[in-house]
């Protein structure tokens, strides 16, 4: 199961971690901490809270390492843990506006163009922030993490058809919320 270039797969590293190999677990953390943090931040909208969720996800995975079975890709397993932690956190306290959906400033933007882009970015952040938790997570996993419908379904423990429905409703809500912007 080692990749073609001789680098251990995530699943192999997780199995080694289950046997107490902390170096293997550290490699997993290094491989995935940026995307774990990014996903949590996009869902929750608060950097400090997202850092807590990402850290807690890795701690939960380490604590349950002995029970890990590679029936799915490690990445899917990680995002499933993040998904549940984000939902728990979301239910405890409504997140602030997403701080990572800002529209990029293009080189050479005039100050008034940059201000307009900033205003648009804020409107988009607010609209996404208003989406229900499941729609928001499906949107984050699809458009920011590049996951397929099947991967999202596995993470969110639903069918690919349900993912399609969640994304369709999210897009409709965003279109309605942002109709003046469009």
- Token digits of residue 122: 């804020």
pTM of structure:
0.75
86 shares a domain with 12? yes
- Cβ atoms of 124 and 103 within 8 Å: the answer is yes
Residue 70 pLDDT: 85
**Residue 129 scores a pLDDT above 90:** no
**Residue 116 scores a pLDDT above 90:** no
Average pLDDT over residues 84-91: 86
Where is the domain boundary, 46, 68, 96? Answer: 96
Where is the domain boundary, 96, 124, 140? Answer: 96
Radius of gyration of the chain from its Cα atoms, rounded to whole angstroms? 18
**Residue 25 scores a pLDDT above 90:** yes
92 shares a domain with 10? yes
Burial class (CB in 10 A: 0-12, 13-18, 19+), 62: middle
CATH number for the domain that contains residue 127: 1.10.10.10
92 shares a domain with 131? no
Residue 69 pLDDT: 85
Residue 104 pLDDT: 44
CATH number for the domain that contains residue 20: 1.10.1740.10
181 shares a domain with 107? yes
Q: Which structural domain, as residue segments, surrounds residue 173?
A: 100-182
């Amino acid at each position: 199961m080692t990749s073609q270039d001789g680098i251990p797969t995530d699943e192999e590293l997780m199995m080694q971690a289950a046997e107490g190999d902390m170096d293997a677990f550290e490699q997993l953390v290094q491989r995935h901490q940026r995307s774990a943090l990014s996903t949590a931040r996009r869902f929750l909208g608060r950097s400090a809270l997202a850092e807590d969720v990402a850290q807690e996800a890795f701690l939960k995975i380490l604590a349950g390492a002995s029970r890990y079975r590679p029936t799915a890709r490690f990445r899917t397993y990680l995002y499933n843990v993040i998904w549940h932690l984000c939902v728990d956190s979301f239910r405890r306290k409504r997140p602030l506006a997403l701080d990572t959906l800002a529209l990029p400033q293009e080189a050479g933007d005039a100050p008034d163009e940059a201000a307009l882009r900033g205003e648009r970015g804020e409107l988009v952040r607010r609209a996404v922030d208003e989406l229900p938790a499941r729609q928001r997570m499906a949107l984050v996993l699809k458009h920011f993490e590049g996951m397929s419908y099947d991967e999202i379904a596995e993470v969110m423990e639903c069918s690919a058809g349900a993912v399609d429905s969640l994304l369709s409703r999210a897009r409709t809500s965003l279109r309605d919320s942002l109709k003046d912007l469009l």
